[in-house]
Amino acid sequence: MDVTTWYLEQTSPSDLIAARPPAIGLDIALAEVPSPEFSRFLYTAVGGDWHWSERLPWTWQQWADWLAGGVETWVAYHRGTPAGYVELLPCDDGAVEITSFGLLPWAIGRGAGGRLLETGTARAWDIADRRPSLAPTRRVWLHTCSLDGSAALPNYRARGFRVYDTKVNVPDDAYDGPPAGAWPGAGARPYGGSEAAPEHG
């Protein structure tokens, strides 16, 4: 299977385009206490239907080390239930990568993805305000691929991200067989949609 990967970026806070209000109420908060268990839950709950597999073998310590490396995790909630998340990784050169982004299946198609991406991108641009040791953000970037939902790339473009590179069959892409699902043995979920997460993990 040929897999196309698109790399997108913003180079100014003014690139960010606001999303329309979602159809459901959302509270978006920073997960201030690093929790490998919670981060793994978000990764599998969001990415299980979309071939997110890279982190599935990680140990608890690998998750802890990842979170200790400066990652910020912003989580969207609807009535106290997680709806999705966005993960930000600042780099020394002033770039911030959106390393994971997406919705739980129940929240897809309700406009939550646009608002979550808008908020996550804004937090990437102002991350140095919360962490003065970082250089001011000069670039926010991410990638998505053709195995993600059909609304992923349009959502990024609608929020002001521009494609700066396109590749086919990135060497570390591995998509053998069906997606892993939310957990081993969970099987296919009877819901889903197109407003999926960009990262393939």
Q: Give the chain's domains with CATH numbers.
A: 4-168 (3.40.630.30)
Tell me how far CA of residue 30 lies from CA of 116, 185, 200, in angstroms: 12, 31, 22
**Identity of the residue numbered 38:** F
The pLDDT tens digits along the chain (201 residues) read 788 999 999 999 999 999 999 999 999 999 999 999 999 999 999 998 887 888 999 999 999 999 999 999 999 999 999 999 999 999 988 999 999 999 999 999 999 999 999 999 999 999 999 999 999 999 999 999 888 878 899 999 999 999 999 999 866 555 556 677 777 777 776 654 433 333 333
Spatial distance between the Cα atoms of 30 and 51, rounded to a whole number of angstroms:
26
| pLDDT at position 201 | 36
Q: What is the pTM of this model?
A: 0.88
Q: What is the DSSP string of 163-191?
A: EEEEEES-TT----SS---SSTT----S-
Please report the pLDDT score of residue 195 as a whole number.
39
d(CA 94, CA 167) in angstroms, rounded, equals: 24
pLDDT at 139: 98
Provide the pLDDT for residue 184.
Answer: 72
Per-residue pLDDT, 175: 56
Residue 58's pLDDT is 95
Query: Measuring CA to CA, how many Å separate 161 from each of 82, 100, 153?
Result: 25, 15, 9
Look at the block and give the residue holding tokens 């646009």. 114
